[in-house]
């Protein structure tokens, strides 16, 4: 059975690119694009890895991650955060919220794949 990635992202081109990269590598990729109910979606789908955008409609990726880390069922879920804002303060906020990896857009396809593989093996 293939491992599942949940991608919470609202930009269609990013969704398409990441879905293609990971599907080609054998991953099952599920997507969601609204921050407001993202925590419920994570709990429902129970992915092996979560890729989470910082800026989402309804709720920020930082808030979603903080909520997930406060839930014992998701406190160890491997999370890759994506952002178009690559400032060091953004990385610090993400790390304080509990992300396992942080990547700025635009990203390299190879980097996304390598990071997801690494996170899944933890």
pTM confidence score: 0.96
Model pLDDT, residue 85: 78
Question: Measuring CA to CA, how many Å separate 63 from each of 47, 110, 114?
Answer: 19, 28, 26
Determine the Cα–Cα distance for residues 32 and 50; give it in Å rounded to an integer: 11
Order of strands across the sheet with 4-8?
28-32, 4-8, 49-53, 79-83, 101-104
Residue pointed to by tokens 């910082």: 54
Per-residue pLDDT tens digits for 16-40: 999 999 999 999 999 999 999 999 9
Question: Measuring CA to CA, how many Å separate 70 from each of 26, 58, 108?
Answer: 31, 19, 31
Per-residue pLDDT tens digits for 57-93: 999 999 999 999 999 999 999 999 999 877 889 889 9
One CATH from 1.10.260.40, 3.90.1150.10, 3.40.50.2300, 3.40.120.10 for 4-120 = 3.40.50.2300
């Amino acid at each position: 059975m293939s491992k599942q990635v949940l991608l919470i992202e609202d930009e269609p081109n990013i969704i398409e690119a990441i879905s293609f990269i990971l599907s080609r590598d054998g991953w099952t990729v599920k997507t969601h694009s609204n921050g407001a109910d993202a925590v419920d979606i994570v709990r429902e789908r129970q992915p092996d890895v979560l890729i989470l955008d910082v800026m989402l409609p309804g709720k920020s990726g930082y808030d979603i991650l903080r909520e997930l880390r406060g839930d014992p069922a998701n406190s160890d879920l491997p999370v890759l955060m994506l952002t178009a804002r690559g400032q060091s303060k953004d990385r610090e906020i993400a790390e304080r919220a509990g992300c396992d990896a942080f990547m700025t857009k635009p990203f390299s396809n190879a980097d996304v794949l390598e990071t997801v593989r690494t996170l899944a093996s933890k």
